[in-house]
Chains A and B, each alone.
Chain A
Amino acid sequence: MGGFYIDWSGELVAFFAFAVVMIVGAVLMLTLTKVVHMVASLAAVFLGLGGMFVVLEAEFVAFTQVLLYAGAVTILLIFGIMMTDHQAVQREPVRPAHEIVSAVASIVLFGILFYAIRTTEFAPSAPPLQAGVDNAMEIGKQLYTQHVIPFELVSVLLTVAFIGAIVIAKKEAE
């Protein structure tokens, strides 16, 4: 027989379903003309990525992804659009040379990455991580023991960033 044999496991089917959603969303984000539609298709990409995290048995990361990206970041970007260009429509490209060079650069980068992924021999590893049962509890334990200093630093970073964002976006007193 030989040839190309694919073992259609449930993980592979779910992977392809989410991959189709993500690629269609990402391509639509580039090709749609109204900015609000672009944000909606970006939300589809974020939701697909959350589903892919569930397939990878990273439930806590998946729900963080849905809450933070598909919820907060999407809403924040919509507010950014409302505060800048209301009826924003992407204008016709005025620099085709620039676009062609960018497309060639992206495709060449993808070619290099694809070649590297295909030719690398990943060492036969231990059996894959089974983190599905108590995933959130295990992550919480590690966050508060091993990684407690980066955790506190991130909380300081978030506070500083949000106060800074408010100060920057505030109307200046004349």
Chain B
Amino acid sequence: MLSSYLTMAAILFCIGLYGALTKRNAVIVLMSVELMLNSVNLNLVAFSKYGVVPSLTGQIFSLFTISVAAAEVAVGVAILIALFRSRGSANVDEFNEMRR
């Protein structure tokens, strides 16, 4: 049963990775990153039940991951709004000041 959960998490992670690499709207990229973080949570909880040493620590770790991800989304959306206000666009391939 453990390997089913791990495979499910791998599928979610790869879909999120494809979205983060190909999408141009920055909000969609943020959503794809959230998908990848969620798949990691699934791994943590699955190992907390079916791992070699089952314990509650995996669930507590996933709670910390969820709260850090919430902070990340808040700051990410705030940066997006500030960028949209100054540049008039939300496409990731137009934010290339650092490359020049």
A residues contacting B by CB (< 8 A) are 11-12, 15, 19, 22-23, 26-27, 29-30, 35, 38-39, 42, 45-46, 49, 52-53, 56-58, 60-61, 64-65, 68-69, 72-73, 76-77, 79-81, 83-85, 88, 90-91, 93, 98-99, 102-103, 105-107, 109-110, 113-114, 117-118, 122-123, 125-129, 131, 135, 138-139, 142-143, 147, 150, 154, 157-158, 161-162, 164-166, 168-169, 171
Contacts and interface: CB of A to CB of B under 8 A. Distances in A.
A11 B6 CA distance: 15
Interface residues of B, number: 70
B70 A158 contact: yes
Given A84-B80, A161-B74, A129 B48 contact: yes
B27 A80 contact: yes
Nearest to A118: B3
B15 A26 contact: yes
Interface string B64-75: 101111111111
B73 A123 contact: no
Nearest to B19: A30
Given A77-B30, A165-B78, A166-B78, A123 B52 contact: yes
A118 B22 CA distance: 29
B82 interface: yes
A25 to B, nearest CB: 9
B21 A122 contact: no
B45 A77 contact: no
Nearest to A123: B52
Contact of B81 (A12, A125, A169): A169
A90 B21 contact: no
A106 to B, nearest CB: 4
Contacts of B8: 15, 19, 22, 52
Contact of A125 (B12, B30, B51): B51
Contacts of A117: 3, 6-7, 10
21 contacts: A19-B8, A22-B12, A23-B15, A29-B32, A42-B34, A46-B38, A56-B45, A58-B45, A77-B73, A83-B80, A93-B22, A105-B21, A110-B10, A122-B50, A126-B54, A135-B59, A139-B59, A139-B63, A157-B71, A165-B77, A165-B78
B73 A114 contact: no
Given A56-B49, A168-B75, A69 B3 contact: no
